[in-house]
Chain A
Amino acid sequence: MLKLQGVSYRYPGGAHETLHAVTLELAEGTITGLAGAAEAGKSTLCLVAGGLAPRVIGGTIVGDITLDGTDVTSWPMHHLAEHVVTSLQEPAGQLSLIADTVFDEVAFGPANLGLPPEEVVARSDEALHLVGIEDLRERDPERLSGGQQQLVVMAGLLAMRPRHLILDEPVAHLDAAGSRLVLEAITAIATAGTAVLMAEQRSEALATVCDSVAVVAGGNIVARGSPREVLAHPATIAFGIEELPEERLRRRLSKAGLDPDVVAAAT
């Protein structure tokens, strides 16, 4: 279980803190959603939770980040990478570019860990299976659709058996078909025991897969709860977070003065 306790973070040369006293727990097997308007701090929280900030990006951090109780702030990046991995927004920008096939791309992580060859092959095939892209195994990673590339990146991360997977807007650049593929894979990954943190602008994506959602605004977590509760709450909408379709319809129907049971039947 990855736990952030009272974590604040400021970018290098930043005038003020981007994250303020954030507390967040990622339990294995669960999917935690991060909702928030643009530049509310979702991406920064993903980078901090994944250990990329401050290790690679620099900046100053306060508070504790623990993995099953042990403090990880002093761990080097490659040690943390065996437990927590992070995927960013654009899949194409995260390919290693040194892989001729999807299999080589997925094997990049385990190979970096210096595992024995059979273990690297086994983990890579296991990750391809978990994400459901065995059929892409010999394809050229650079000539796939956005959705398929996102799955390849996720498989590449899962092949390291990290137990914690952090996804920063995994479906932002994808079409409907691509999004469905990625969301199904995320659910399968969590059921297999990985803890997933997913930051997303699209509330429908959060509602479809998340067990709980935290709302981020101005670098603070301002609300927590089940997707239905949190994403329908008027305060959430005030923060500029996309409403769920049913909630939006219900709000507009009642505002139009329609009879309550008609409203209920409609949603």
Chain B
Amino acid sequence: MTELRLEGVTYEYPAGVRALDGVDLVIPAGGSLALIGANGSGKTTLARHLDGLLRPTHGRVLIDGEDAATFSVARLAAKVGICFQQPDRQIFQRVVRGEVEFGARRLGASEEEAFARAKEALEAVGLADDLGRHPDDLGETRRKLLTIASVLAMRTSVVVLDEPTTGLDAHGAGRIGGIIRALHEEGRSVVGISHDIRFVAETFDRVVLLDRGRVVLDGTPAEVFAERAWPRLRASGLEPPHAAITGARLGLGSTPTEADVVAALLDREASAVR
């Protein structure tokens, strides 16, 4: 499995805007990490460094210890698959099946292998019976799930998902959460970019807050969403998860998810009885 390491990565857009400013970050093999931050904090820019699409102005990106700059993006795509935020920017096949197989075929999977992977990926995102349909006939929501499926079918050891829950309803978001946890159990690394704080707190075991191209917070959800970190979050225009606010109000310590609130209250009730 693949370890990603960013050492002092700085990236300046041609117009001189510094999107990343000396980022040091290690994403261990099998890690599950969420990137959060306001618009323009550098989340997407950072993600595009992970598969070599963008090359740092200063610093290095190491993939399994080797400098990403020495490989072509197509080669790196075998290890790091990115699902972009806008579904329409990549869909072009006439049939859903062809779209999902595209990435897998580019990485050298045979027709049968690609078809098998496509069916499995479509099953995972809940589009199993849309195999033969034209992507345009699927609504915005299912087109989003289609792009996620086409990255899953590439079977890369690192999966990067940019705003995976945008435009999805509760079922859809739940399904994506399940997929990320399943990838994690398979030992593959997952990097997610999301505005949905509750989804982040419940799905990832590490959260990195970016602000103007710098890592300002890096830790478990319990650390990043703990009350002492709230000023830092709010400075980036982010609200802590509802469960964390409730936990603080009830003096239960840091409770980023509802499950934590339930557990803390059960403990308190149990210790009160003793």
Contacts and interface: CB of A to CB of B under 8 A. Distances in A.
Contact of A259 (B142, B172, B195, B269): B269
Nearest to B197: A176
B40 A38 contact: no
Given A38-B141, A256-B262, A175 B246 contact: no
B14 interface: no
Interface stretch (A24-32, A133-141, A237-245): A237-245
A245 to B, nearest CB: 4
B216 interface: no
A37 B246 contact: no
Interface size on A, as a range, is 35 or more
A252 B170 contact: no
Given A172-B167, A242-B170, A266-B261, A145 B250 contact: no
Interface stretch (B25-33, B50-58, B183-191, B234-242): B234-242
B215 to A, nearest CB: 18
A253 B237 contact: no
Contacts of B167: 38, 89, 169, 172-173, 201
Nearest to B241: A245
Given A249-B246, A258-B266, A173 B166 contact: yes
Interface string A155-183: 00000000000000100111111100000
B139 interface: yes
Nearest to A145: B39
B78 interface: no
Contacts of A54: none
A129 interface: no
B39 A146 contact: yes
B120 interface: no
A252 B262 contact: yes
Nearest to B264: A266
Contacts of B39: 145-147, 175, 177-178
Contacts of B128: none
Contacts of B197: 176
Given A176-B237, A177-B237, A248-B258, A241 B170 contact: yes
A37 B139 CA distance: 12
A242 B169 contact: yes
Interface in B78-95: none
Nearest to A202: B196
A249 B38 contact: no
Contacts of A145: 39-40
Contacts of B142: 38-39
Contacts of B173: 242
B178 to A, nearest CB: 15
A145 B39 CA distance: 8
B96 to A, nearest CB: 15
Interface string B160-181: 0000001111111100000000
A68 interface: no
Nearest to A246: B242
A49 B259 CA distance: 41
